[in-house]
Amino acid sequence: MCDAPQLPPGPRGELEQALRHLEDGWAAGEQPTAEALLLRYGALRSHPPAIAELVYTEFRLRRRREPTVSPSEYLARFPQIADRLRERFAAQEEDSLLDAARAPTWTGDLSSSQPFAETAAHTPDDRAAQSSRMTESSITHGRFLPGARIADRYRIVSLLGRGGMGEVYRADDLKLNQTVALKFLPRNAAGDRIRLELFHNEVRLARQIAHANVCPVYDIGEVDGEQFLSMEFIDGEDLRSLLRRIGRLPQSKALEVAQQLCAGLSAAHERRVLHRDLKPANIMIDGQGRARITDFGLATAAETDRHTDGIAGTPQYMAPEQLLRGETSEQSDIYALGLVLYEVFTGRTVHSPSSIDELRSAHQTSRPVRLPPELAGEIDPTVGRVILQCLEHNPKDRPRSAGDIARQLPARDPLDAALAAGETPSPETVANAHHDGQLSLGIAMSLIVATVLGLASIAVMNDHFQLIRQVSSPLSPVVLAARARQLVAELGYEAAPRDRSYGYADSWEIANEQLHLGVAAGDASENVRARPSAMYFWYRESPQAIVSLTQSAIRLPGRVTLHDPPVVVPGMANVMLAPDGRLLGFLRIPIPTDDVDQPPAPDWLACVQAAGFELDELTETTPHLHVPVSADRRIAWTGTFPGLPEIPVHLEAAAWKGRLVFFQMVAPWSRPRTLFAEAMVPHKSAAEVGFTIMCVIAGIGCAILARYNLSTGRADLLSAFRLGLFLLLVQFGEWLLTADHSMAMDLELAAFLNFIGYAGFWSLLAPVFYLAIEPYIRRRWPRRIVAWNRALRGRFFDPLVARDILIGAALGTIYTCVDQFNHQLPVWVHDEVVPPVVLALNIDFLTSPLVPLLRCSATAVEESLAGFTLLFLLVLVIRSEKLSIAIIFSLFLVKAGMADYQLALVKAAPSAVMVLLVTLVAIRIGPLGLAATFFFYQVTLFAPITYDAQAWYAPTGWMVAAALIGVATFAMVNCIDRTAVYERLREASGHVEATRGSTVR
């Protein structure tokens, strides 16, 4: 053990212990490092002589096992004490090794155990002053001589640099005839599992990022047991060397570099990659003057645990939470970016501590960073404000993303630059356009208040005007299904079915009859509730699995209905009930086991009483309805509806072998067909055939246009893929919730394949349409799809995305209110009667809050794209946005007048204003705002939002309303101008403190 340098008694004792620990460890084969011992013996960190002695002792012990180990590695690991280490090596007559160590270094990363922040590598002046003893081979060759072949593919040209993380060579790729850079790990790292993992991780993460401002990494390889990676060779200079050579960059160049760094870092964060070691030494300026982010050796995936086992990175460029607690996030990278920008614009570093303890102390006191006063007038105030915001001590106070920083910097908008050059801007350029979309707190609060008040108004109007509110004692689907099963058992069919299904349907014939009789939509009196219900409940059961057979291009497959599948299986039964449980119809297919030698007399009384009638109140008549099943006894009655003598009714029943197989109640307004058969589909008209042909031609045209756009490289394939994936996942979720699934594997697989055919068609059609049209919209209306592009790239926290959603939330909710208002306007103005509003009687909408959210999200996206495209084409043809808006407005007025000429102006006025607002949203805001408007409009129109806590569907409506308010609140929180809010809060707090001080005095 060497004599300890002159130290105070405390550190001297720790140094002796550390040296003893080091020698004992190497003797035992543990190979402890100087970094690890510095963490353990903290008093040594502020004493460079002690650190130099400890580092040299490790070098000496290690050299006994690895004779080829070079001091250059230690000079790179501890550049802060490089001069002391050189003296220590020279004192031990390590001159030959010292010559090699003085070669230009490839600056490595400082681990948390190093006592000092990063300092400069050898500057040109340093290199000029180097000893004449340096040999040419030690300076330029490294471990591979020029011309050496690596892995039978690469030919070494020269050594670019070396450092703690290894050596980097310029090489020729003989296979592709390109110049590349090869990075080799140090020789002693071959068995270091941690270093190898970091090396592989660098390649794994860097290959996920493809951006012009990020140095691409190609592949990883191995030669003679040594790992290396290949990456792009950047013919330029690192930013640290440039800044030390010329000082701060000119303002225009600094802004350009800042924008490029923001773009590169944003690309990494979009791929969920954290750099964790962003600093000038890891930024190259290439021959064209572009900034390129390099060295992802310490990068990590954002999904991993944000608290690492150790502090990794360069302390001088670490965020406070990274240095003090080892926590990394996008905000810690943004802090490092702020440090780099500070250096770029001022030519100075923010922190210049002499030890890590001093740096930790500076972070713990959280003193605010200030720009140099003498440069305050030379730096744009906006730039200074953005840099200082990046350097906020609290991560929550920093910008949310690198894209936010780029948008705040006063640089030229890349979108404007692309348009000025006559180019079609790329999707990334559109997404990164300078448009933050922040709203003031007052406007944002006004929009969310409008949304909440709109939902409250919708609940009030639903309770007065919805069809489901005008039925007699509406029971829940579960209760009605149990009632139907009980009724089937009472009619003699007690065997439990294998499968069953149920739901709701509406009868427009009854609704129109109520209108004819003068029943207002808002009339919920007992007299009205006693009338025949315009909605009914259906129940089906079968001894076999009930599987939907309908193949439809407009309805999600897999949902059993009253008519799908047809009632043809022996033992299958259909039941129709009024909302209060009264029998409206019954049908059952007989099975051979139903036959008996001496059948009993049919129990007609049971079905008549189940329908709410008494036999003595009915008159027997001749049956005349078509009975779709075998029957040996038939009977019919006439009478009047219970309690309503003005409404005649016809009842008809049939039996087979003594048991009821058919029952139906027919009112005067009923169509001359059985309620158990699907209405006949008429022949297609010439207009419908022509429309079909036009759709086919349009589809083929879109496919050809999409292929052309793909071949020319103008199509946004990533957005199209995400759009199709979104539609597929939404439809899959709805299918899982709404389809009637079977436990039989073959039936469930067949149903799934049927769904795949349906969903696959629509999920492919939308992206093809998008690929065909979007490039032209991006060429002419790029700013209107900025938020749309950001949303498709998952930037849901972006203020512009949030702003469009919030505006759509308020507008869509108010639109539903206007719709319901117009529906009741004739009642209020002329005391007329109108039919009730038919709430979506899809049972899934009434029982599951997810179903309306899922279905409306898909339809809103599709309809917004279609509407926005039609508007774009209209403007393209007419060549005037204002004239296009006027045409849409006029067409709507004409349509409203044709519907009701007496109230044309009264009814059309509010709706026309809404249509005008929606059109303006489409033109001024874009498809995302239009999609949000359609989504909130459709959900609030179909969801059972109510104030009635006794209604069985009330929880569903409340959960839907809560989800809508949650979406609007999320949008509001993310679109408000937080800087302005914080400034107001600070002003308010300062005013309060001043008031308190004056009160105390």
Q: Which residues are catalytic?
A: 277
- Collect all residues with Cβ–Cβ distance below 8 Å to 264 and sequence separation of at least 6: 211, 212, 213, 214, 291, 292, 293
Distances in whole angstroms, Cα of residue 675 to Cα of each of 161, 586, 666, 840, 981? 86, 10, 9, 20, 62
Cα Rg, the chain, nearest whole Å: 39
CA distance 727 to 764: 9
What stretches of 92-192 show up as alpha helix (H) in DSSP? Answer: 95-101, 124-128, 136-140
CA distance 49 to 81: 9
Q: What is the residue whose two structure tokens read 């020269």?
A: 158
Buried (b) or exposed (e) across 153-184, using 16+ Cβ within 10 A?
A: bbebbebbbbbbbbbbbbbbbeeeeeebbbbb
CA distance 887 to 750: 48
Do 915 and 937 touch, CB atoms closer than 8 A? no
CA distance 324 to 363: 8
Question: Is there a binding annotation on residue 183?
Answer: yes
CA distance 781 to 313: 43
Count of all residues that appear for the chain in the document: 1001
Q: What backbone phi and psi angles, to 5 degrees, belong to 121?
A: -80, -170
**Residue 633 DSSP SS3:** strand
Between the two ends of the chain, the Cα-to-Cα distance in Å is 67
Q: What is the DSSP letter of 923?
A: I
- Collect all residues with Cβ–Cβ distance below 8 Å to 319 and sequence separation of at least 6: 331, 332, 335, 336, 395
Q: Which of 786, 661, 657, 767 is nearest to 722 (CA)?
A: 767
State the angle between helix axes of 850-878 and 717-738 in degrees (0 to 180), rounded to the nearest 10. 140
Q: Which of 350, 444, 263, 234 is nearest to 969 (CA)?
A: 444
**Residue 762 DSSP SS3:** helix
CA distance 72 to 82: 10
Q: For 459, how many CA atoms within 13 A lie in the half-sphere containing its CB?
A: 22
Q: What is the DSSP letter of 56?
A: H
CA distance 848 to 959: 9
Q: Is 938 left (phi over 0), alpha (psi -120 to 50) or beta?
A: alpha
Strand partners, 585: 576, 664
CA distance 843 to 501: 11
**Residue 218 DSSP SS3:** strand
Q: How many Cβ atoms are within 10 Å of 357's Cβ, its own excluded? A: 13
Q: What is the DSSP letter of 308?
A: -
Q: What backbone phi and psi angles, to 5 degrees, belong to 922?
A: -65, -40
**Residue 737 DSSP SS3:** helix
Q: Is 475 left (phi over 0), alpha (psi -120 to 50) or beta?
A: beta
- Collect all residues with Cβ–Cβ distance below 8 Å to 701 and sequence separation of at least 6: 772
CA distance 587 to 422: 70
Please, is 616 exposed, middle or buried when counting C-beta atoms within 10 Å of its C-beta (0-12, 13-18, 19+)?
Answer: exposed
- Collect all residues with Cβ–Cβ distance below 8 Å to 8 and sequence separation of at least 6: none
Positions at the binding site: 183
Positions at the binding site for ATP: 183
